[in-house]
Amino acid sequence: MYFKVSKKAFLQGLATAARAISNYSPLPAFSGIKIVAEEKSLILTGSDSDISIQTTISASEECALQIHDMGSVVLESRYILEIVRKIDADQIELEMIDGTLTKISGKSAEFKINGMSAEDYPPIDFAKPAEVFSMSKELLKKIINQTSFAVSDKETRPVLTGVNLSCDGKLLQCVATDSYRLARKNIAIHDPVKFNITVPGKSLSEVYKTLENDGDVEIAVNDRKAQFIIDDTIIQTRLIDGVYPETSRLIPLSFDYELTMDTRDLLNAIDRASFIKSDGVSVIKFSLSENECVLSSKSLEVGSSTEILSSASFSGNALEISCNGKYVFDAIKALDGDLVKFSLCGEMKPFIIQSVSDDSVLQLVLPVRTYA
């Protein structure tokens, strides 16, 4: 194998593939990037068996790819990335010179590193699943932003560590919950598809990092895997086994109280109140009436804070409700729009947070009991 390629394109491709590689990979080959030189393209693959990323550099004027000898090798990702990063040249040459011993050079610098045979790299099936639909990169970024923060970080219920994507027709529903809060976004899509899958939250964060520039993403799913095809890159992830809980019954259908307020003002007020913590957790209390809305927090160790929410508007009887400050802050931050609306049912009942201008996103937070 022998090829020349622009440093910029090669480094970008290596960095993309390397994102799938874990330091704790069960197989030695998975600590490397598989490099395959074909007639007119370079295919780079990284994997940790849960998530696999394959990116293709096709011959073009920009990447200056010249394949002199086709072939394949697996090179330790941290070494090849560091070498290409450090070579001070616009063009990189890579050549296998003896078995898997590989020479990487540019200008006057030359490195030789031991690789592994590509035959020792576990086979990864990148065949496209049957259920296929597409959306803009911008919309997928928004979906990930508005839901994935609510996944659980505890492995006790693995299915809650992912975002559930379900569709039966042209309405895609995306739900994440850690059982204390819930985020849901509904999206109309062009292509009718039918599936119900749960994608690991950490896989979606890798997808998010790849969503640069404008354009569309093709998403292909079956009951074993999901593929996100972004330009010349395929991000393929395993799915989380298990039945995702039925969350629609958690969402109240009628409300007795409503609070509306300027989004930025409320975020700033919660940020100030959350400074007061007990055992590392900030519990904030809303004291709401049609005359005055007050946000407070209290801790025996630290002290207390009280702030009148001057831009708030409230309808309903007087109500006091306490909740985790971080959960409410995260929920509001995920919304678009200048005004945020809280729909409430009572002191110890879950409440809904939505943007006044966008009802496609729904955030639900469970209150907490306070004894102060």
In SS3 terms, 312-352 reads as: CEEECCCEEEEEEHHHHHHHHHCCCCCEEEEEECCCCCCEE
How many Å apart are CA 130 and CA 123, to the nearest integer?
20
What does DSSP assign to residue 278?
B
Local confidence pLDDT in tens for the 372 residues of the chain: 999 999 999 999 999 999 999 887 778 899 999 999 999 999 999 999 899 999 999 988 889 999 999 999 999 999 999 999 999 999 999 999 988 999 999 988 999 999 999 999 999 999 999 999 999 999 999 999 999 999 999 989 999 999 999 999 999 999 999 999 999 999 999 989 999 999 999 999 999 999 988 899 999 999 999 999 999 999 999 999 999 999 998 899 999 999 999 999 999 999 999 988 888 889 999 999 999 999 999 988 888 999 999 999 999 999 999 999 999 999 999 999 999 999 999 889 999 999 999 999 999 999 998 755
Decide: 161 and 186 in contact? Cβ < 8 Å.
no
Span between the terminal Cα atoms of the chain, in Å: 71
Q: 2-120 and 251-365: same fold?
A: no
3-state secondary structure of 66: strand
- Chain CA centroid to CA 248, Å: 23
User: Could you tell me the CATH superfamily of domain 2-120?
Assistant: DNA Polymerase III, subunit A, domain 2 (3.10.150.10)
Decide: 263 and 335 in contact? Cβ < 8 Å.
yes
Please state which CATH class domain 131-248 belongs to: alpha beta
Residue ranges per structural domain of the chain:
2-120, 131-248, 251-365
pLDDT of residue 291: 93
pLDDT of residue 192: 92
Fold for the domain defined by 251-365: Proliferating Cell Nuclear Antigen (3.70.10)
Return all residues near 99 (Cβ < 8 A) that are at least 6 apart.
none
C-alpha torsion sign, points 149, 154, 160, 162: positive
pLDDT of residue 277: 85
pLDDT of residue 371: 57
